Amino acid sequence: MEQSYTKNYLKIYLWQGVSLVLNFLSMFVVIPYLTSDPVSYGIYSVCISFSIFLAYADLGFLGAGQKYAAEYFAKGNREEEIKVIGFTNFILLIFLVLFSVGFFVLSSNPHLLVKGIDTPNQYYIASSLLLILAVFTPTTLLQRLLQMVFGIRMEDFIIQRTNIIGSVFKILSVLWFFREERYDIVGYFLFTQIVNFIAALFTLLIARNRYNYNFKSLIQSIYFNRIIYDKTKGLAFASLFMTISWILYYELDSISIGMFIGASKVAIYAVGLTILSFFRSIFGILFSPFNVRFNHFVGIGDEKALKTFYLQIVTILAPVVVFPIVAIAILAKPLVFSWVGSNYENSVTVIQILVFCNIFAFITYPTNFMLIAKERQKTLYFISTLLPVIFWTGIMLTINLFGVNSFAIFKLMAFIFSALFLFKMMTDYLDYNVLSSIRIIFLPMLVPMVFLVLGSFFVSNYLPQEKSKINLLIVSGTIGGLIISSFFIQYFVSEKWRKQIIKTLKVLKK
């Protein structure tokens, strides 16, 4: 990594750290309020699941566009950068309008989306949440545009700063919307959407002043551009197929459970899905800056630097991914009981299964970045097909046997199969065999992993298991302490890991 970009990574991670703390607060402060009414929380979870589709409304063109925009930025060609960003956001705009119309229609007929709406209050909650989604759908366009502008410059931390301020307001708002006998989940969701919109507008002003960015030219570029379409369509259609696959694999759980099993079961599953989504958000933030650098290296044609950078990411971030997941899985029961209460006992198994869906994220994220940067479209199609086929086939065969746990089990099975395939792709690209890969990547984690597993099982018998903020703080602090201790052990047993930490500290001092 070049020193200048190392500084950018550190700035990103500094503000990610603050954001991470706020996400913890959001999970451990907001969720207990929401889960106090399981049926309403189930309805909320199903409706909010539909908002996730907004992230995929660009049909893969934003992902492809960011790759080429990053390459143009690396070459210093802002004119072409703006054209690519404008065209890809034109595609996004079209489908956001369609989504908004769809949310309006569903807001009048929420029973089409959620099974088990029995009271006028439940109907009001579902209808209002969908109507709010319809009104604030355009915010997504502004957010995604800004992510491209800041992301290709490796300055995502600026967006994070603004979002952090918004997150503080959203967390504090629970004291107003969920006080005494009041349970205003609709008002809370409306407030969060307003905060998101204001934060996006403020970030837009920052981009204009910081980069002297010509947003007038960008707005004028939001139209169909045949030249850019021809350039991006190959990778975009592969990304679209990946998007559809990812939706089938990742985003339909709550919706399917809500439609076919019921809102109460959604609440049980949603607690586990919250933990999975939390890890997914963390790893998305953790790895996203490296995606841009992959495109930079491809843009300037430096294959050797790309391979060195690729291996460095995998080896350095492996412990960062693995240790928290192992700790959460072992201590899931005291975590759930102190967080949302014993009524969600069935969520413990769901969490223990789902968290392992990210155990090989240190391989899958950078390998996917490499495949996209190198435009390995056939491989991307294969991986994208593998995930939903394994997932839904397993559910159809076992849902009567395992119930809601079937969704968690086969989400994990699908991930393991894809991770093994991506591991093979990684070793082939880096020209390593399996044994050398294990020695380089996994062996340095052995000693801290043994400590973490034994320590987690030992303390699990002594942790409190009653719902309260103090107990949750004790459990969370214990988990955090075990993870940090494992990192210290990793520092002393792994020379390569230690050198990278020392290098990072030197950059911080400068």
**Contact (CB, 8 A) for 357 and 317:** no
Residue 245 domain flag: no
Question: In this structure, which amino acid lies at residue 455?
Answer: G
Residue 72 domain flag: yes
The verdict on 336 and 483 lying in the same domain is yes
Percent of the chain with pLDDT over 70: 84
Q: Where are any strands of DSSP class E within 131-273?
A: none
Tell me the pLDDT tens digit for each residue of 1-42.
344 556 666 676 677 667 667 766 665 666 666 666 666 677
* Angstrom distance (rounded) from CA 406 to CA 42: 18
Domain boundary among 205, 237, 269: 237
* Angstrom distance (rounded) from CA 127 to CA 121: 10
pLDDT, average across residues 228-246: 74
The verdict on 502 and 443 lying in the same domain is yes
The verdict on 219 and 277 lying in the same domain is no
The verdict on 487 and 451 lying in the same domain is yes
Domain span including residue 481:
252-510
Which is more confidently placed, 4 or 99?
Answer: 99
Split into its structural domains, the chain has a count of: 2
Q: Given this model, what pLDDT does residue 324 score?
A: 93
pLDDT at 320 over 80: yes
Tell me the pLDDT tens digit for each residue of 38-87.
666 777 776 676 666 666 666 567 777 777 787 778 777 888 888 888 88
**Contact (CB, 8 A) for 412 and 457:** no
Which is more confidently placed, 163 or 10?
Answer: 163
pLDDT, average across residues 315-339: 91
Residue 7 domain flag: yes
Residue 451 domain flag: yes
Nearest CA among 144, 143, 141, 197 for reference residue 169: 197
Nearest CA among 160, 8, 152 for reference residue 84: 152
pTM for this predicted structure: 0.66
The verdict on 219 and 338 lying in the same domain is no
Tell me the pLDDT tens digit for each residue of 114-141.
666 677 777 788 888 888 888 888 888 8
Q: Given this model, what pLDDT does residue 2 score?
A: 44
pLDDT, average across residues 181-196: 84
User: Mind giving me the DSSP string for 10-41?
Assistant: HHHHHHHHHHHHHHHHIIIIIHHHHTTSHHHH
Domain boundary among 237, 263, 287: 237
Residue 309 domain flag: yes
Q: How confident is the model at residue 323 (pLDDT cuts 50, 70, 90)?
A: very high
The verdict on 389 and 510 lying in the same domain is yes
Tell me the pLDDT tens digit for each residue of 409-436.
998 999 899 899 999 888 888 888 888 8
Residue 247 domain flag: no
pLDDT at 260 over 60: yes
Q: Given this model, what pLDDT does residue 105 score?
A: 86
Residue 221: φ, ψ to 5°:
-90, 0
Residue 395 domain flag: yes
pLDDT, average across residues 165-187: 80
The mean-pLDDT minimum among 101-105, 186-190, 271-275, 500-504 falls in 500-504
